Chains A and B, each alone.
Chain A
Amino acid sequence: MIPPSFEYYAPTTAEEAIGLLQQLGPEAKILSGGMSLIPLMRLRLAAPRYLIDINRIAGLAEIKETDGALKIGALAREAELERSALVRSKYPILVETAAVIGDPLVRNRATVGGNLAHADPANDHPATMLALAAEVVATGPTGERRIPITSFFTGFFATALEPDEILTEIRIPIPPPRSGGAYVKLERKVGDFATAGVAVQLTLGRDDVCDQVRIGLTNVGSMPIEAQQAEEVMRGKRVEPEVLRRAAQLAAEASDPSADLRGSVEYKRDLVRVLTVRALNRALEQARRGA
């Protein structure tokens, strides 16, 4: 259970870290919270030759609203997201997501940026960021670029980040009034990956008409899934029980789970349907309370 040898670098600026990525090439790996990478190295499932520890880069852990967006620095810890007064008051979906990741000790180290960049389809933030229509800010040798979350995940554990880019920030558009969101995850025990998870963020217009809705699914496919047909069936319609039932059915159909110890394909697909209804109802309650 001793990890393989590696060379260790601890840059103090993003520029320095990017320079190291360019110099060391594809055998270099970024170390953020390390809550996925270090256990993988101990199990010898990962053996990077070089580790670039970004934890000593200043200014990458901020959580603040500016320019119409909530900005979460790549090094913001899950525990900080849970504690942030701003996030608690305006983005309960993010608190609900952070609170079911790992366990409280893991969340003291685990970072939001790492949860996305690792691109494990079982990770929880990807579905939530799909629901929130987030953008990922990638910093590379020529500066920053923004990647919409819908094109960030490109495959099983694969992202649109270039080998010499670092995920530095996540930007979430500030939700309009009468918005609500929820993340509902079924896990067998604390610290387990989701059997399935559903993230919903929606905005209501007049007469309970759904102006906008986005639905993200966790661990029911080889990539995080956005249930687009479920969203389409809701947009512009009054959020009546029949519409929610139909959306939940379409979300289940959008899922593509594999059977494992957590359940069969049929079970997981039906779970997506049930969790979608719950998440929609919770999001609607919040949206109706919102001014």
Chain B
Amino acid sequence: MGSQKISLKVNGVDHEVVVEPRLLLVHCLREVLRLTGTHIGCETSHCGACTVHLDGKAIKSCSLFAIQADGREITTVEGLEQDGTLHPIQEGFWQEHGLQCGFCTPGMMMTATAFLKDHPQPTEDEIRVAISGNLCRCTGYMNIVKSIQYAAAKLRQGE
């Protein structure tokens, strides 16, 4: 048994991909589908730079084989923007200077968007716990928290 054909829906677009079972989802996204917004940091499920949504849940795409995602829906950072309009979380990171080098940003934003769906009015503590699986080595956590608060407020207005 070698490579197998799988189907993935990524950011609303259906893809059929032939994968070796050992191909990790993050490699499939970046190298096969050329969606390089999802980053590879530690490769051992610590840093969260590779966070994407799998059927709406935030997961680390370096710790899932692409073949496991067969038939499922994935959202990456490229799927946040809609028709040229930034998602409130992207706007928040921009307005609140939520990034310095930007390496952790895609993962931070994917974790935050999944979290805000269940926590429309988060406390600062809840935000800090929510992003505890995402490392920022510029140590810009203050502004990341503010960016998520900005997005939470903006999303509440939109309802």
Give A residues with C-beta under 8 Å from B: 1-8, 10, 31, 34-35, 38-39, 41-43, 51, 53, 55, 79, 102-106, 108-109, 190-191
Asked if B39 lies at the interface with its beta carbon under 8 angstroms from chain A, I say no
Q: Are A108 and B1 in contact (CB under 8 A)?
A: no
B residues less than 8 Å from A1 (CB atoms)? 43-44
Among the interface residues A3, A39, A103, which one has the most CB atoms of the partner chain B within 10 A?
A103
* Interchain nearest-CB distance for B8 vs A (Å): 15
B residues less than 8 Å from A2 (CB atoms)? 22, 24, 27
Compute how far the CA of A51 lies from the CA of B23 in the bound complex, rounded to whole angstroms: 13
Asked if B63 lies at the interface with its beta carbon under 8 angstroms from chain A, I say yes
* Interchain nearest-CB distance for B105 vs A (Å): 16
Compute how far the CA of A51 lies from the CA of B4 in the bound complex, rounded to whole angstroms: 14
Q: Are A6 and B22 in contact (CB under 8 A)?
A: yes
B residues less than 8 Å from A105 (CB atoms)? 48, 51, 58-60, 111, 133-134
Q: Are B133 and A103 in contact (CB under 8 A)?
A: yes
Q: Are A191 and B133 in contact (CB under 8 A)?
A: yes
* Interchain nearest-CB distance for A12 vs B (Å): 12
Asked if B68 lies at the interface with its beta carbon under 8 angstroms from chain A, I say yes
| A5-B22, A8-B21, A105-B59 known; A35 vs B65 contact (CB < 8 Å) | no
Secondary structure dominating the interface of B? mixed
Q: Are A38 and B129 in contact (CB under 8 A)?
A: no
A residues less than 8 Å from B63 (CB atoms)? 34-35, 38-39, 106, 109
Q: Which of A8, A35, A43 contacts B4 (CB 8 A)?
A: A8
Q: Which residue of A lies closest to B20 (CB)?
A: A5
Q: Which residue of B lies closest to A2 (CB)?
A: B22
Interface residue range, chain B: 20 to 34
Asked if B67 lies at the interface with its beta carbon under 8 angstroms from chain A, I say yes
Compute how far the CA of A8 lies from the CA of B20 in the bound complex, rounded to whole angstroms: 9
Asked if B95 lies at the interface with its beta carbon under 8 angstroms from chain A, I say no
| Proximity bits, B60-75, A CB within 8 Å = 1, else 0 | 1011110110100000
Q: Are B133 and A3 in contact (CB under 8 A)?
A: no
Q: Are A108 and B132 in contact (CB under 8 A)?
A: no
Compute how far the CA of A108 lies from the CA of B129 in the bound complex, rounded to whole angstroms: 14
Compute how far the CA of A103 lies from the CA of B129 in the bound complex, rounded to whole angstroms: 9
Compute how far the CA of A8 lies from the CA of B45 in the bound complex, rounded to whole angstroms: 21
Q: Which of B43-59 contact A (CB under 8 A)?
A: 43-46, 48, 51, 57-59
A residues less than 8 Å from B133 (CB atoms)? 102-106, 190-191
Q: Are B68 and A53 in contact (CB under 8 A)?
A: yes
Asked if B130 lies at the interface with its beta carbon under 8 angstroms from chain A, I say yes
| A8-B4, A104-B130, A105-B51 known; A191 vs B46 contact (CB < 8 Å) | yes
* Interchain nearest-CB distance for B92 vs A (Å): 19
A residues less than 8 Å from B132 (CB atoms)? 103-104, 190-191
Q: Are A108 and B21 in contact (CB under 8 A)?
A: no
B residues less than 8 Å from A31 (CB atoms)? 68
A residues less than 8 Å from B60 (CB atoms)? 105-106, 109
Q: Are B58 and A4 in contact (CB under 8 A)?
A: no
* Interchain nearest-CB distance for A108 vs B (Å): 5
Q: List 15 A-B contacts (CB under 8 A).
A: A2-B22, A2-B24, A8-B1, A10-B70, A39-B45, A39-B63, A42-B24, A42-B43, A42-B44, A42-B62, A55-B68, A79-B57, A102-B45, A105-B58, A109-B59
| Proximity bits, B105-143, A CB within 8 Å = 1, else 0 | 000000100010000000000000110111000000000
* Interchain nearest-CB distance for B79 vs A (Å): 18
* Interchain nearest-CB distance for A96 vs B (Å): 14
